[in-house]
Amino acid sequence: MTQFFVTGTCTGVGKTSYSVDRIRSWRAKGVTGVGLKPFATGDRGDAIRLQEAMEGELSLDEINPCCFASPMAPLMAAQKEGRGIPYDLILKHTVSLAEQFSHLVVEGAGGWMVPLTEEKMICDFAKELGFPVVIVGRAGLGTINQTLLTVEAVNRHGLGIQEIVLNRFPEDSEELANLNRDFLAQRTGAAVRLAQFMQ
């Protein structure tokens, strides 16, 4: 089984691009890998990219059962739109698909502590799934603080870290990206690698 949960040090760091890359890599090897985006806000663009990467293996509603038009944390978007989030049903749906596919990536919304309901956050959803966690962050300035805080939070929830991926944006210098990678690998003991995905 190769199943993991993808979180970011913040929003817009490349979680979807990482997930798409993994799905395409699995499929290039003949493995039916799929990706889920249980919670989305703003639009379904991330879910559509996942669907394209898995060549239509799942419907958009299977990939993304909960979506809000407002580009904000799911709890706030739900409150703004006068709707609730059926947390337990979405968790059950995600677990059901995890039982069907040996290669699965579940992408969170924003970062580790993003609220879903008054009681539940993304970290609670990830903990209930119990998958190893992939942390995606920027490679440049500011990533050490953000990444170490996320690592600490993931560890506090008792989940293992699959790897840390530092996404190098065009404005990030190669020298700083390499220094950040080496420091985070030494400090956390986790596998840390540089990548250059689209956002």
Active site residues: 37
What does each C-alpha distance from 163 to 16, 125, 132, 158 come to in angstroms?
A: 16, 19, 9, 15
Give backbone dihedrals phi and psi of 161, rounded to 5 degrees, phi first. Answer: -100, 115
Which residues touch 167 (CB under 8 Å, ≥6 apart)? 13, 14, 17, 18, 136, 137, 138, 139, 195, 196, 197, 199
